[in-house]
Chains A and B, each alone.
Chain A
Amino acid sequence: MKRLNTTICCVFLFFLFATFAYAQSSEIRILHVNDFHGFVEPYKPLGSDELLGGIPYLASKANELRKEKPSLLLSAGDMIQGDNWANLFLAESVIELMNGMRFDVMVLGNHEFDFGQGVLKKRISEARFPILGANVEGLDSIKPYAIKELKGIRVALIGIVTEDVPLATHPRNVAGLRFISHIETAEKYIKELKNKTDVIIVLSHIGYPADRVLAEKVKGIDVIVGGHSHTKITKPVSIGKTLIVQAWEHGKALGVLDLTVKDGKIIKFEGHLEEIKPEKGKEDKAALAIVKKYKERVNAVLNERIGEAAVDLDGENVRKRETNLGDFIADIMRRASEADVTLINGGGIRTSIKKGEVRMKEIYSALPFDNYIVAIKLTGKQIKEALEHGVSGVENEEGRFPQVSGLTFKYSPPEKRGSRVKEVYIAGKPIDPDRTYIVATNDFLAVGGDGYKAFGEAIKSSRDFPAIGGMMKGEKVVYSDSSRWVRDVVVEYIKEKKRIAPAMEGRIIEIR
C-alpha cells in the first residue's frame, strides 16, 4: 500500500512539474506566403477545373488564424512580376495590399528587382514592414534582418535571396549590386543573433533544394521559410534541427506553422498548408477593396493611348509571309538584345492593329503570351536549318513560320521540306555557315517550342562557366531578360517613338 502511494505521488509530481514546465513555454504562429506574383484573383490552374487562390480569401484566413495566437505574417519573396494587377503599377498595388494585410516582414525575391532599383527603393519606402536582403550589397534601403517579439519570444528573421538574380533579370536592374554567398551570410548573422533571440528564422528566396543544403550546412537555424521554387510543402520538413516550409505559389495556399518555444528551443511544432479557395462571403473586405481599386485602374491603363500607327499593322498573315507587324516586333527584339538577327514564330503574334491610335491593350492582344527575349549564338548553318524548319509548315499556315529581322531569305514552297530555303543574307552579306551570329528569339523557341531545335542544340553544346555569384552561365547565351515580357518591350518602344510606320522590306521572299 505504501509503495502504491509513493508511485501515485511520483506520478502526480511528474504531471505537476510537466504542467509547470509547459506553462513556461509559449506558442507562436508563423503564417507565410511566397511567389505570389500579383495573382489577386482565384484562377483555375492548368489542367484543373477548380478555382484556387484569391487574395481576399487568403487575407481573411490569415486574420482568422492570427486571432488564435501571437502570429507573424511573412513573405518569402517574388510578390510582384506576373499578373497585370502587379505589373501595370510597378508593384505599388502589391505593397498597398501587403500594408493592408499587415505583413510583418518580407525578403526580396529575384523578381523584386525587375522594375529597376529606382522603383524598388520607392516600393521599399512605401512598405510599412521591413524588407530584407542580407546577402545583397549596395542597396541601402534593405535590412539584413529584423527582430520581432511575440509573447516574450524574440524571433530573429534573416532574409536571403538567390545569388542568381543577375542572371535572371536585365543587367541594369542590378547594376552596382553584389549578391554574396547566402550560406556565409546566414552563418554571419546567426552568430550575431543567436544570443539575443529565442528563435532564428531564415526567410529565404533561394529555392527548396538550396534550402535543404542551407539547413545541412549551417547550424543554428530553427526554421527556413522558403520561396523561389514554388514548392508545395504540405508538412514541415526536418533537416537536422531545422524545419523547412514553403507555401506553393500565387496565393493558392497559406502556410501555417505553430511553434511551442521554451528556453530558446522549439519543443513542439505543427505545420500545414491552408489551401485557399473562393468562398462567398468569406472574403476580407479591406483586401477586396484594394483588389477592386487597382482592377478598375488596370482597365484604364490598358486603354491608354501609347502612340500612333501611320499604317495598318498586319498580324493576320504572320503564319504564311513576312508582315510589317512581324518585322516591327522582330526589329524591337533585335534592338533590345543588340543581336545580329531576330527569328521568332509568327504564331506568337495573334491579332492585327488598325492604323490610328495605338492602345496598350492592342499590343497585349497581339502579343498575349508571357514570353521574354533571349539571344543565343548560332552558326550560319544552324540559322539556315532553323529557317528551313520555320517554312516547313507554310502550306498549313503553321505557327512556326518565321518573322525575322537583320536577315533576308528566299524560299520555294513547292520544294521538299528541308530544301526550301535559298539565298540567306545577313547584314547584306551571304550567310556564312561557319560563322557565329547572335540570334534574338523568345524563351518559347529557345526551349524547342514549335519544334525549333537549333536554339536547344546551341544551349546544349554550350560550355558553362561560373558567372558572378557562382551561377553557371552558358557561353552561347548572350542575353536573357525574364524581367520583361516582349509585349512590354514593344509598348516601351512605341511610347518612345510616339508614331510608328513599319513597312515590309522584302525580308522573306517566296519563289515559285
Chain B
Amino acid sequence: MKVYVNQKSVDVLPGMTVKHALMSTGLFKEIEASKKVYEEWGNELGLDGALSEGMKIYVKNCKT
C-alpha cells in the first residue's frame, strides 16, 4: 500500500499505521520533537491511526 508523507511516497503493509509511515521516512523523531501529523484536509491524526491507499499525510509544526 502506498501512502505519501510530506509528499514522499512510502510503501507500507495493510494494517500498518501513521507511526509506521513516519518510521519508514525517518520522520518519527520529529514527533518526539513536538511536531504533529496532519492529513490532507488539515485534521490532526493520532499515531495509531489507520492508513489507506494513496493517503497523504504531513509532519508539521503544531497548529496554534
Q: List A residues at the B interface (Cβ < 8 Å).
A: 35, 37, 46-48, 82, 110, 162, 164, 167-169, 207-210, 228-234, 237, 248-250, 374, 443-444, 446-449, 456, 459-460, 462, 464, 471-474, 477, 480, 482
Contacts and interface: CB of A to CB of B under 8 A. Distances in A.
17 contacts: A46-B32, A47-B33, A82-B48, A162-B50, A169-B15, A207-B50, A208-B41, A231-B49, A232-B44, A232-B45, A248-B46, A443-B16, A447-B23, A459-B12, A480-B14, A480-B15, A482-B16
Contacts of A35: 46, 48-49
Contacts of B31: 46-47
A488 B11 CA distance: 27
B48 A168 contact: no
Interface string B13-51: 111101011011010000111111001010111111110
A210 B52 contact: yes
Interface of B: 1, 11-16, 18, 20-21, 23-24, 26, 31-36, 39, 41, 43-50, 52-53, 55
Contacts of B21: 447
Contact of A446 (B13, B52, B53): B13
Contacts of A209: 39, 52, 55
A230 B52 contact: no
Which applies to chain B's interface (DSSP): helix, strand, loop or mixed? Answer: loop
A10 B22 CA distance: 63
A294 B31 CA distance: 31
B39 to A, nearest CB: 7
A477 B53 CA distance: 16
A447 B12 CA distance: 7
Given A207-B50, A448-B24, A231 B43 contact: yes
A480 B49 contact: no
Contacts of A456: 11, 24
Nearest to B20: A447
Given A231-B45, A249-B49, A167 B15 contact: yes
Given A82-B48, A167-B15, A480-B14, A449 B23 contact: yes
Contacts, number: 107
B24 to A, nearest CB: 4
A168 B45 contact: no
A229 B39 CA distance: 10
A260 B46 CA distance: 31
A201 B23 CA distance: 36
Contacts of B33: 47
A167 B39 CA distance: 23
Contact of A208 (B20, B24, B36, B39): B39
Given A164-B14, A168-B15, A472-B14, A37 B48 contact: yes
Given A248-B44, A472-B14, A477-B13, A448 B23 contact: yes
B13 A459 contact: yes
B16 A230 contact: no
B52 A47 contact: no
Given A48-B34, A460-B11, A229 B49 contact: yes
Nearest to A249: B46
Nearest to B54: A209
A230 B14 contact: no
A249 B47 CA distance: 9
Given A207-B52, A447-B24, A449-B23, A168 B47 contact: no
A169 B15 CA distance: 8
